[in-house]
Chain A
Amino acid sequence: MSSSNSIHSSAMKFAVKAWSNGRARAGVLHLDCCPTPIDTPSLLLSTRKGLPLFISPDLLPSLPSPDSHLLHVSPLHFLEGLSMTTISKIGGLHQMLGLHEYGFAAVPRDSIQCLPEANSTNKVGASFETPCGRLLIKPAEYMEMISSLRPELWATLADEVPAWVSDKRNKTSVDRTIKWLDECIALSPTGGAVFGAIVGGSSLEERQRCAQEVARRNVSGHCSFVDMR
């Protein structure tokens, strides 16, 4: 994730500490919930329904701290078996998972099971292949999930496409992503830091166009989606 020099939102503060000769930079991320600031570049731990896949929550403190305090959460995981009403009733991610000193970054897709299905995405919503079948997620639905889960950071809904799509389809993905960016921002709950999604495939032009549009909105950070296939 990338950002400008210093950003403040109610849950998150970010500042760049140092630059390399090139464009790399070291920064520090402050989250209200985390007792210690987190150095960036930083790796998010992947989770399944909010808990790390490989270690139980009581053993999580045995991992290096604070480096292991940022968790990636996919809101789509919770569509299987837990209603948003129940999650709200419980009080959101921190209450539900018993992880109070950990920061959650919500991004719709994960790297293994909830993958964007570009052929089924349409102007109404983004499609994902998930363990409970193919789901079409509209911005309003997505924002309902974000409001219930209350993560520290969250990415806006994107139309992610693979590198081999036509130029036309690639351009459409940028148009949709910007439209959904605005819809998500309009519905954003108080307290979370918004990360604007940046798509554009391997077209430098489209990437720039998307980034410029996102930069114009009042977001706390950017979330770039890169096709690794």
Chain B
Amino acid sequence: MVGVPLWWRTTETYRAWLPVNQINELAELQVCLCYRSMAHWTRYVHPVLGYQAGCHLRILNEILARDHSGDDTLSVLHVEADLSLHTLSASPCGSVVVYVIPETSVLLPQGVDVYIGHRRTAVLRMGAPMSVGKNHKQLLAHLEPRITQVVQVMSFSHTDITAALSDRVRLSPGSKESLADSMRSFKSSPGYEITFSLLNPDPKSHRLDWDIEGAVHSYIQPLLTKLAPLANFSIDSQILYYAMLGVNPRFDSSLEAYTLNADSLAHVINPVEARLGSNAASSNPVLNFLLYVPDAHHSPLYIHDHQKQPVASNAFHSPRWGGIMVYNVNDLYGRGETPLPVNININMEKVMGVFLAQLRLMLGVQSSPAPPGFLVEPCGGAGLADWELDRLMWSRTVENVATATTTITSLAQLLDQIGNIVINDNIASQVSSTVTSLQLAVAELEAGNLGFALQYSKEAILASERAFFDPSLLHLLYFPDDQKFAIYIPLFLPMCVPILLSLIKIASEARQRRKLKQSKKD
């Protein structure tokens, strides 16, 4: 009797208290959250329209009046309007302001109903059958479908959520193509490592020089500065010599060139990747961009698509891994008079154009095709419009929240299932901080404060990962039952013998007594 509590005390594993109920709540809350925030959004846009439209229309008219000097300036008018509207009302991160202009306005070119600029504003031309006299509600009702369209383009749409959650929740079994789209971009992470590698399989015949530092500074850095609130990016580059592709390109005599087919591209990366090396100093996902300069005997080398047509950029990308570009230099050799190796300077503008496009794809800055009648300003020097950034932030926040929630729920499940796992205080605190951050993130998301929501969701994801991968969880995990048996059997087996014997005795006595009773009755 004394031994039992002692034994109980010494053999129990320490398990700190976890907010299991809250975690379970979170797991259920998640799905409805997405829709709620969506609905919230459309509501948010309406008042903007209702209250601000009036005054801003006046400003627009002023701009129009001021600049209405000649027809040739018309085409640039909407750009200027975009800029001045932005300066007038610095819209907060994550919001979209829609300006409605009269049907007859010359601000937008003919045939364009909606104009979306670099910032968080859109200009919407009022539909044809609208007359001014109608009341407010009708006006809103009339504009509603168009505004929804605008919001879908500029803010996040259903497909974005699908993409963001594709790993976690299977929302709708979409087409194969949309699935590929959704799986192309990298998963959300607090940081990314971008590595540019120049592959030189033949240093004997050409010596390559690339001004990667300058190129990164002028092409990649502006985009990354823009994306800074989203994640930390670090860039490095290397040159790999004697790095071969995994497949032998076929010689096409009609083109007098070597070709790589689309279906063989899948095998190109493997042998190269062994040389790329992972980043030893961080555990963030790595985006690889390879520039392959084929050796003299295998050039020029062209990539062909499925229709056997050469790809214009001579580049391809691999989802969630990076991109490869083939850069032919055989026309730079000169005609035999220069001794090998030939010094070759790589035209970084050409290369970086391709890599920048691939980087946008990998980061998930994908522009869904605009509906007819929409004029979307092409991205400028920064490589990213404000509303594109917002879109990205929306989907990343949702994805972070989803990831953190799944991590924390699966951790809770795991701890629930395996009783041997020790839960230390630091894990408990990590878990509870995850839960608080998640709740805050959801609250901020509902309130439309995108920046804070993203911040909290990042914190949540960090804390949840730390809790999930804490090594102390594994300490007693391998403590199989047979070892317990091995320890307890030497004690309990001999102890059981007299007990069992006496039980048998009791049973036989009872049986005898019953027999005796029966015989007495008889």
Indicate whether A and B interact. Answer: no
